[in-house]
Amino acid sequence: MKLLTSWPVPVFLAILFAVLISTSNASTAGTLAALFGLSLVLILWGAFRELSAHAEISRALSIGDSAGATKLADAQLGRRRGKRRGPFFIYRAMAHELGGRWQQALQDLDEAKPREPRGGAASWRLAAACLRVSAWCELGQVPAARQLFDAEVAPRLATPGDAGSLLAQLALGRLLLAEGELGGAERQLTPLSRNVRLGPAQRAQAFHCLAQVARQTGDAEAAARLQAQAAALAPGSVFASAMAPTLASATATATATATAAATLADAAAPLG
């Protein structure tokens, strides 16, 4: 695949056409026809090369290969300019999400926003909004995540069945979990964890969040089972671990805060 999308291919084709034209004693009309054929072949090659770049990164993201997807996105960003870079900033943000690098994901989304991606702009905007909602949930900025979800993501829930709706549903499940709506999160995420239209990494996110719901409701056995399913689907992602780093830190902080509050209340009770 890499050989077919490398630059020696069009160079070789151009040389081949030049040799054919120069040795065939073709008329002017024949020469123009050959040049038209060469132009058509080069256009098709360029389209194939573009689609291959997107497919390669999408494949890495679907299996939770954060490092591989980041490397591929970096390579594409290095060779592109202007609006053509927009989708690959979003791809790299997705890779950062899989690695639990939420701040880096937000930085890439900020880079992508001024560069309106060409082709399917609405789909790219939805993907970026869902990523931002998830990152803000993980970083504890839940009110901002809710506001963005209601404004930009929720409308897609009204069109069930398409890929955008599935992304919106997954973002809603993570948002409900961050808001402490455990029952709602479970109802939202359970069907998604079984939906084969989602990639393995996206289903791993659903299983990971369901494991957190089970853990917070005191069902350790279910939490372990659900987390094992997440790890099996995307072993190289942050969702394969029992807790995403920032969420684990946030939970530990909340627990410590609750413990400190309880201690202060106990200490103040005799004074009352």
d(CA 259, CA 255): 6
d(CA 156, CA 249): 32
Tokens of 208: 């990971």
Taking the alpha carbons of 197, 199, 201, 204 in that order, is the dihedral positive or negative? positive
Tens digits of per-residue pLDDT, 95-128? Answer: 999 999 999 999 999 998 756 555 567 889 999 9
Please name the residues in contact with 164: beta carbons below 8 A apart, sequence gap of 6 or more. 123, 126, 156
Which of 16-20, 29-33, 36-40 has maximum average pLDDT?
A: 36-40
Check whether 146 has a pLDDT greater than 50: yes
218 φ/ψ sector (left φ>0, alpha ψ -120 to 50, else beta):
left
Question: Half-sphere exposure of residue 112, counting CA atoms within 13 Å on the CB side?
Answer: 28
H-type alpha helices, the chain: 8-23, 28-62, 66-78, 86-98, 102-112, 121-138, 142-148, 163-178, 182-193, 200-216, 220-233, 245-268
Q: What is the DSSP letter of 117?
A: -
pLDDT at residue number 69: 93
Q: Are 244 and 238 in contact (CB under 8 A)?
A: yes
**Closest to 242 (Cα-Cα) out of 272, 220, 261:** 220
Q: Residue 212 burial (CB < 10 Å; 0-12/13-18/19+)? A: buried
pLDDT at residue number 219: 94
pLDDT at residue number 5: 64
Tens digits of per-residue pLDDT, 152-162? Answer: 999 888 776 67
Q: What is the value of pTM for the model shown? A: 0.76
Check whether 30 has a pLDDT greater than 80: no
Map residue 27 onto helix, strand or coil: coil
More confident residue, 47 or 172: 172
Tell me what the mean pLDDT of segment 198-215 comes to. Answer: 95
